[in-house]
Amino acid sequence: MKLPLCARSVRNTFASELNYVLYAITELRDTLLLMEGNIFEFNK
């Protein structure tokens, strides 16, 4: 399927934005898990 150039660049931009968002979510989740673990250790 051939897309016009503008549609292709929009799709690429969207894909990279999506990757960035997913990466940020993963980072946030890891940070929260770390904090949760630390709080749990602290409360023991």
- Cβ neighbours of residue 3 closer than 8 Å, sequence gap 6 or more: 11
Q: Which residues of 15-38 are buried (b: 16+ CB within 10 A; e: fewer)?
A: eeeeeeeeeeeeeeeeeeeeeeee
* Structure confidence at residue 31 (pLDDT): 92
- The string of pLDDT tens digits covering residues 1-44 is 676 777 778 888 888 999 999 999 999 999 998 888 877 666 65
Q: Give me the pLDDT at residue 12, please.
A: 85
Residue 23: the pLDDT is 95
Helix (H/G/I), strand (E/B), else coil: 2: coil
